[in-house]
Amino acid sequence: MVESRTSPIVEASLTALAVSLRGVTKVYDTGVVALGPLDLAVRKGEFISLLGPSGCGKSTALRLIAGLSAASSGTVRVARHEGEVQIGHGIGFVFQEPTLMPWTSVRENVRLPLKLGGIPKAEGRARADAALASVGLADFADAFPRELSGGMKMRVSLARALVTDPDILLMDEPFAALDEITRFRLNNDLLALWRSLGKTVIFVTHSVFESVYLSQRVVVMTARPGRIQADIRIETVEPRGEEFRTSAAYSDYCRRVSAALAPSYSGQSTL
Amino acid sequence: MNAHTPASAKPSGAPSAVRFVLPVIVFAAGLAAWEMVVRIREIPPYVLPAPSVIFLTLIKDWSVLSQSLATTLLTTLEGFVAASIGGIALALLFNQSKWVEYSLFPYAVVLQVTPVIAIAPLLLIYLEQQTAVVVCAFIVAFFPVLSNTTLGLNSVDRNLAGLFQLYGASPPQTLRFLKLPAALPYILGGLRIAGGLSLIGAVVAEIAAGTAGAGSGLAYRIAESGYRLNIPRMFAALLLLSLAGIVIYGVLAVVSHLVLRRWHESALGKES
Q: What are the percentages of helix, strand and coil residues in chain A, rounded to 5?
A: 40, 20, 40
Burial A241-254 (b: 16+ CB within 10 A, else e): eeebeeeeebeebb
- d(CA B82, CA A211) in angstroms, rounded, equals 57
- d(CA B198, CA B249) in angstroms, rounded, equals 11
Instruction: List pLDDT tens digits, range A80-97.
Output: 655 554 544 688 899 988
**Confidence (pTM):** 0.80
- Supply the range of the domain harboring residue B214: 54-267
Interchain proximity B163–A139, CB inside 8 Å: no
Instruction: List pLDDT tens digits, range A161-177.
Output: 989 888 889 999 888 88
In a domain, A84, yes or no: yes
Which H helix or E strand runs over B124?
A: helix B116-126
B113–chain A Cβ distance below 8 A for any pair: no
Indicate which CATH number applies to the domain containing B116. 1.10.3720.10
B118–chain A Cβ distance below 8 A for any pair: no
**B125 Cβ contact partners less than 8 Å away, ≥ 6 residues apart:** none
Do residues B21 and B85 share a domain? no
Other Cβ atoms closer than 10 A to B197: 24
Banded pLDDT at B3 (limits 50, 70, 90): very low
Do residues B27 and B67 share a domain? no
Instruction: List pLDDT tens digits, range B15-25.
Output: 778 888 998 99
How open is the CA angle B67-B71-B74, to the nearest 5 degrees?
135
Do residues B168 and B96 share a domain? yes
Indicate which CATH number applies to the domain containing A137. 3.40.50.300
- d(CA B158, CA B164) in angstroms, rounded, equals 10
Q: Which residue of B has its CA nearest to A110?
A: B163
Do residues B218 and B83 share a domain? yes
In a domain, A65, yes or no: yes
Q: How far is A248 from chain B (nearest CA, A)?
A: 37
In a domain, B212, yes or no: yes
B157–chain A Cβ distance below 8 A for any pair: yes
Q: Which residue of B has its CA nearest to A63?
A: B162
In a domain, B22, yes or no: yes
ipTM value: 0.81
Do residues B35 and B119 share a domain? no
Do residues B39 and B92 share a domain? no
Instruction: List pLDDT tens digits, range A247-259.
Output: 888 888 888 888 8
Residues in chain A within 8 Å Cβ distance of B169: 116
**Residue B134's closest CA among B215, B213, B62?**
B215
**Average pLDDT of every residue of chain A:** 82
Taking CA atoms, B90 is separated from A26, B93, B177, B199, in Å, by 37, 5, 19, 22
Do residues B36 and B130 share a domain? no
Do residues B80 and B37 share a domain? no
- Supply the range of the domain harboring residue A209: 8-265
In a domain, A136, yes or no: yes
Other Cβ atoms closer than 10 A to A226: 27
Which has more pLDDT, A48 or A81? A48
Do residues B23 and B82 share a domain? no
Residues in chain B within 8 Å Cβ distance of A144: 262-263
Do residues B114 and B229 share a domain? yes
Interchain proximity A117–B3, CB inside 8 Å: no
In a domain, B163, yes or no: yes
Interface of B with A in 173-212 (CB under 8 A): 173, 177-178, 181-182, 184
In a domain, B8, yes or no: no
For chain A, what percent of residues have pLDDT higher than 90? 20
A88, A99, A146 member nearest B263 (Cβ): A146
Supply the pLDDT for residue B160.
92
How open is the CA angle B96-B100-B105, to the nearest 5 degrees?
110
In a domain, A1, yes or no: no
In a domain, B49, yes or no: no
Would the pLDDT of A233 be above 90?
no
Do residues B127 and B92 share a domain? yes
In a domain, B94, yes or no: yes
In a domain, A231, yes or no: yes
Interchain proximity B167–A117, CB inside 8 Å: yes
Tally of domains within chain B: 2
Tally of domains within chain A: 1
In a domain, B2, yes or no: no
Q: How far is A236 from chain B (nearest CA, A)?
A: 35
Q: How far is A67 from chain B (nearest CA, A)?
A: 7
